[in-house]
Amino acid sequence: MESSDPKKRKKVVAYLHPALYPQDNLTQQTIDSLPVQMRGDFYRQSLICGAALYSVDPRLLTLISGFFSEKITAENLVKLIEQTTGYTSTSIDISVLKNIIEASSENKSESITSKDDFEEQTRRNLSMLKK
């Protein structure tokens, strides 16, 4: 078994199979919608989220990835976690959580430069180098 230094960077390689799994197809669409410069952070944060869920209950990774679809909601996720772990959320109303998530998503989408804008800016920058 390979022992790894916790301070050393670790390269992770995984394959998506969009022809076999609808979740993989949706994940690939999500990744493709991100600006290229954000994808590395997305991959890293996704792994960290997976580790956090695994630390709560190892079954959550399989369940959440299996139920991932365009119709998944914050309420579905919370209920899935509650049913799997036996934990009942009493600290926050699901509608409040949904509003927080929606507001956060809106703020992120406003601050993210679209892929087309980024590519256009890159072209302008490169054209300046030619002069």
DSSP for 22-42 reads: HHHHHHHHHHHHS-HHHHHHH
Percentage of the chain lying above the pLDDT 70 cut: 79
Per the structure block, which two tokens stand in for 9?
A: 């960077």
At 26-40, the pLDDT tens digits run 999 999 999 999 999
Mean pLDDT over residues 12-41, rounded?
95
Range in 24-28, 45-49, 73-77, 90-94 the model is least confident about: 90-94
Quote the pTM value: 0.63
In angstroms, what CA-CA distances link 51 with 32, 57, 61, 93? 23, 10, 9, 25
pLDDT at residue 129, as a whole number: 64
Largest CA distance in the chain: 65
* Degrees to nearest 5, angle at CA 117 with 115 and 120: 110
